[in-house]
Structure 1
Amino acid sequence: MFFLATRRYVCLPTPTPEITTTKMAQALGWGEGERINTRGVRPVDPKTGRAKGGNEFSADKPSNCLTGKARTWKRVSDAQRLTVQEAGLLVGFLPLYLWHGSRTSVFQHEADVVPPIIAAAVLSEVLGVPWKPRVRDYNDQLYRLGEFLDPYADDFDTVA
């Protein structure tokens, strides 16, 4: 939900197939089959045989919503924690975006931020400019598999 002031009626955009959906593993350059542990070793519920309170999810689909607690997420295969840069990438920031503060505060900032892609869609509706070509271009370049973007390149405005 957004509260925006404008002098005209605005219909906020709905998701469309024109904007590609990227799986978490793809976005982070991980192989298929990765699982994310969100809460460490949890007691097992004897009735279900599963960890209590949720514990793991597959990285082979879009990421779960980030919260400040995402700082504790680990890959099951090698126990590597999700990095600040990886979490930033999941919410739509360039890999070398400079976050400031402690690990805890940075993850909270990343969880609270309005992602650039959402901000572009909402603001462009208010301003009356097309957003889909730019967002599609940004999204496609942001999540290019196996590549790191040049943080100084200004190539996200090539479609408009």
Structure 2
Amino acid sequence: MSTKKADLIDAALSGIGRTAERAMRMNQRAAARLGINPTDMQVLQLLQSAPRTSTDLAKLTGLTTASMTGLIDRLEKAHFVTRVRDESDRRRILIHLNDSRARTEIAPLYGPLLGTWRRALSTYTPEELTLIADFLTRVEQAFDQELDPR
């Protein structure tokens, strides 16, 4: 491998680390503005893609199920989430993000950043965007493999 290519790979890897660190700081700032703690914010982000059980959320965050119950109680009291009985298995309770509250209180905290990213991405060609999207998919797959190596 050429020295230039190795240097570019090192720069990309460093960039991933810096981006992860900034994402963590952004989430901490958003949580503080909402009056919740960063772990609460992490759970809200996990619920953006789909409702989940408290057991699933506990596994994803590394918390005990007892701690997760308290966390969900706090978020429910603050009207960020609701508990809903699963239609396909009435024994299961799914935690749903309150979409209305997320749109009015959480989205505005991230809107300026998303706008900046959108403007930056709009400067790339469709071919470059394809490459960027492929790279990010590969980064996600690497994370997934390390987090759940089944």
TM-score, L = length of structure 1: 0.27
